[in-house]
Structure formats: C-alpha cells, structure tokens
Amino acid sequence: MEEWCVSMPKIELHAHLNGSIRLTTLLELAKALTENQKGAVNISQVEHVIMKHDLSLTEVFQLFDLIHNVITDHNTVTRITKEVIEDFASDNVVYLELRTTPKRNDSIGMSKRSYVDAVMEGLRSVSSVDVDFIPNTQDSTSLSNLPIITNENSRKIIIVRLILSIDRRETTEAAMETVKLALEMRHLGVVGIDLSGNPKTGEWTTYLPALKFAREQGLSVTLHCGEIRNSKEIKNMLEFHPQRIGHACFFEDEHWIKLKSSKIPVEICLTSNIRTFSVASIEVHHFACLYKAKHPLVLCTDDTGVFSTRLSKEYKLAANSFGLGRWEMLELSRNAVEYIFADNGVKNDLRIFFNSVANNME
C-alpha cells in the first residue's frame, strides 16, 4: 500500500510554503542565525518545538513565528521554495497549488511583491524536475510526457500554481494589497486567495472587502474554516460560498447541512487535524462521513515540515483508517482535478492524464 501511495499521481491543493520547509533546512538556518546574531533566535528553543510530536494550535502558531524569524531574506525564500517543490515532486505530486503569505520587511527592502518574486525564482531554479508554472506558454501542459505511473527513474514533471494567503492578523488594507498583487501576478501563475493564520485572531468583517474584491475580479478563494469553534464565522464563511474550504473541524449540524447542500469542496488535512487536537482521533474524523456522502473532498498535507508528513502518507493513513483500496485512492486523487483553481486547459490535461492512469490499472 505504501508503495502504491507513493507511486500514484497525486494533486496537492492545501500546502503552506513556510510550513512545508524541510526540518533539516530549518535547523540549519536556525543554527546559522544563532551563531551570527546572538539572541535573535534561540536554537534550543527551536529544536525543542520542532521535535515535539503533538503541538496544540497555539504552539503551531508559535512555531510559525519562529520559522518566519529564520526565513527573512529573498534568497532563503527562494531556497525553501525550490526544496519544497522538489519534495512534492519526489512524492509524485503532479499538480500543486502552493500557498504563501506575501511578507513585507522594510529593514531588508522586502515588499510583498519582491517576496512573491523570490518564490517565483525558487520555482524557476528547480532543476531536478520539470516545473510548469507559467500559464498558457504552450498549447497544453507537459503532462502528456509523464509516464503513467511514475517510477524512481523517470524524469518528474510538476505543474505548480500559487495562492496568496491573507494572514488573519492583517488589516483590510493589507489584505487588499495582497489581492491586488495576486491580480497583477495572474499571468505568472497566481490563481487564488486564501485566508489563513491563527483562527483565534481577527474578525471575518476585516477580510470580507478584500475577499469580495478578489471574487469580483475572478480570483478563486479558499478559506480556513472551522479550525476552532466559532459558529457565527463558519456560517458567514459558508454564506460567502468560497470555491473551497480547508479543515471544517468544528462544524455543527446546521453547518454540515449548509456545506453539503452547497457542495463546496473540502481540503482535508488528516495529520494536521489530529496533531493539533482539532479532531480527537482519526476514527472520528469527518473525512469518513463526507466521503460516504460523496461530498467533494481532497486529501492535503497542510504543513509537511511542521507535521512531518507527505501527501503519500496522508493517502496511506486514509486507506488504513477508512478501508480504501487502490482504486478508491486513485479516484480520490483524480476527483481533485475538478476542484483545482487553474484554467480549463490544465484541468483537461489532468483529466486525460488521470484517465489514462485509470485505464492502465484496469
């Protein structure tokens, strides 16, 4: 099963760039900072948090602050982007929507734009796999060159699109700036907007104008929804009707009814939900109920670095916990094509590709 989960082509739609940092890279960068700038980062503190197995949601956000203290300059942003793409490709992810929060750091001349440019540079600098990230540069994507079931020796191809995140700590103006940036960078492969960050922070009404503007301008929107108990916000979010939502852990009956009738696809992050205690155990995870109801779902990793996971591990966990066979897993992966934010050309190429994978299995 493990081998199948790795070799099967997969689609990742909920991955945060900085949360997907390799732990070895994080430790290396933290050590260098500790040595160069005494006091800026305390390496033992970093090691302690990283090695802790279960992190409460509050501790996870403390870890993100630590990661952000370590990843400060453009070169580091480029480096981690390159590594994250290599890691997803080596796990046979063929289509990845990578999300990240554009950051401003005046002290080193970093603007939100230059931050995203550094991410783009990371995509460009990958050499071990072919990265298709600029839309409409050719009639079809390079997927037709992909072997049906990828093996270790074949050259990998990965299609990457970007989603820009609004952090819940941001103001309406800052959120609007991110949406405008996404619009400016659409021709470079930015396809959507995400609302994320500590769910205990901020108010829905703060981001709403920017999210509405994004939608009016034709950007797709995904929202972190129901990571904590907040009935009113969940209701408001579902009424907004985003293209997708992430998590959906603390839903009440009225939310499930609304979600199911609206058919909004849910990005499911099993390991993340269990490790942050957002769901008590895998046995009671809402994946089972939504899957049975044939609700649109996609398995995702959230933060591969922070939660020590990979997409193939998430599939294996789902297979073992909910009794899915190879065919069901492939169907789950293939169905995700319908929920991607990229244009119809990419969607069609992926449909054709997954059809041939499925035909080959029969």
Q: Is 83 in the site for ligand 6MZ (CB under 6 A)?
A: no
Distance CA 234, CA 359 (A): 40
φ/ψ of 105, rounded to 5, equals -140, 90
Return the bridge partners of 246, or none.
Answer: 224, 267
Binding string, 144-183, against ligand 6MZ, x = CB under 6 A? Answer: ---------------------x-x----------------
Distance CA 147, CA 144 (A): 8
Tell me how many degrees the CA angle 126-5-156 measures, rounded to the nearest 5: 25
Residue nearer to ligand 6MZ on the CB measure, 65 or 152: 65
Q: Which of 303, 309, 312, 357 binds ligand 6MZ (CB under 6 A)?
A: 303
- In angstroms and rounded to an integer, the radius of gyration of the C-alpha atoms of the chain is 19
Binding string, 26-65, against ligand 6MZ, x = CB under 6 A? Answer: ----------------------------------x---x-
Selected range binding ligand 6MZ among 3-11, 15-23, 132-140, 353-361, rule: CB under 6 A? 15-23
Residue 89 beta carbon to ligand 6MZ: minimum distance, rounded to whole angstroms: 18
Q: Which of 81, 100, 178, 333 binds ligand 6MZ (CB under 6 A)?
A: 100
Residue nearer to ligand 6MZ on the CB measure, 60 or 158: 60
Please name the residues in contact with 11: beta carbons below 8 A apart, sequence gap of 6 or more.
Answer: 93, 94, 95, 96, 298, 333, 336, 337, 340, 350
Q: Which of 17, 311, 332, 337 binds ligand 6MZ (CB under 6 A)?
A: 17
Residue carrying the six token digits 């609304």? 258
Q: Which of 9, 122, 197, 202 binds ligand 6MZ (CB under 6 A)?
A: 197
Residue carrying the six token digits 């609206």? 262
User: 123 to each of 12, 73, 110, 180, 269, how far by Cα in Å?
Assistant: 16, 16, 19, 21, 24
Q: Which residue out of 97, 227, 233, 314 is catalytically annotated?
A: 227
Q: How many CA atoms, within 13 angstroms, populate the side-chain half-sphere of residue 66?
A: 27
Total chain residues near ligand 6MZ (CB under 6 A): 18
Residue nearer to ligand 6MZ on the CB measure, 62 or 356: 62
Residue nearer to ligand 6MZ on the CB measure, 91 or 167: 167
Residue nearer to ligand 6MZ on the CB measure, 53 or 292: 53
Distance CA 300, CA 209 (A): 28
Q: Clarify whether 227 is annotated catalytic.
A: yes
Pair type for strands 10-16 and 244-247: unpaired
Residue 203 beta carbon to ligand 6MZ: minimum distance, rounded to whole angstroms: 16
Structure tokens at 353: 């590709």
Give contact residues for ligand 6MZ (rule: CB under 6 A).
Answer: 16-19, 60, 64, 100-101, 165, 167, 196-197, 224, 227, 272, 276, 302-303
> Catalytic residue numbers?
227
